[in-house]
């Protein structure tokens, strides 16, 4: 998996949270995903399909960060991950992949996005069934952590 393909997703997440929620994310060290257990409390999962690309992406967010994003984006605070928070995580997943799709399209990678599915529940596990590598990238903020998982068929 080439950095030129992965990086647009990472920069897009940083950009989306900065512009939409005024939250700064600090990228950590990328790693191979070996454990299924999600590192956060709510996850947006989206499928991607194109001539050269077939895969899935998950954005997993800790509850404290998810609630902060909601509060900053919508101007009202909330205590629990409810339907509105899930829809917001789905929308962020859409925006991040949409931003990456635009950049990648300019570089000759064409793909379409499916609709996002939002997973929640304490200790939920996400297992991507792909033939290629599974990458996980952590991000740190003042309000909690977020992770992007990107997985593709070879």
Binding positions for its own copies, rule: CB under 8 A: 36-37, 45-49, 54-56, 58, 83, 86-87, 90-91, 94, 112-130, 151-153
Closest CB to its own copies among residues 21, 85: 85
Identify whether the C-beta of residue 150 lies closer than 8 Å to the C-beta of residue 73: no
**Angle at the Cα of 42 (from 61 to 17), degrees rounded to 5?**
35
Hey, CA dihedral for 62, 63, 64, 65, is it positive or negative?
positive
Closest CB to its own copies among residues 86, 141: 86
Compute CA 91 distance to the chain's CA centroid, rounded to the nearest angstrom. Answer: 10
Q: How many residues does the structure list for the chain?
A: 154
Closest CB to its own copies among residues 20, 113: 113
CB of 13 vs its own copies, minimal distance in Å: 17
Closest CB to its own copies among residues 13, 141: 13
CB of 119 vs its own copies, minimal distance in Å: 5
């Amino acid at each position: 998996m080439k950095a030129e393909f992965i990086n647009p997703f990472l920069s897009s997440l940083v950009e989306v949270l900065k512009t939409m929620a005024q939250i700064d994310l600090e990228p950590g060290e990328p790693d191979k995903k070996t454990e299924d257990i999600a590192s956060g409390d709510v996850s947006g999962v989206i499928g991607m399909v194109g001539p050269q690309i077939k895969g899935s992406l998950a954005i997993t967010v800790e509850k404290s960060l998810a609630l902060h994003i909601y509060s900053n984006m919508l101007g009202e605070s909330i205590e629990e991950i409810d339907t509105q928070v899930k829809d917001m995580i789905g929308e962020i997943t859409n925006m991040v992949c949409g931003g990456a799709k635009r950049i990648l399209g300019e570089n000759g990678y064409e793909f379409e996005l499916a609709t996002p599915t939002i997973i929640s529940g304490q200790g939920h596990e996400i297992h991507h069934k792909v033939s290629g590598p599974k990458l996980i990238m952590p991000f740190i903020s003042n309000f909690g952590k977020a992770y992007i998982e990107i997985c593709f068929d070879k």
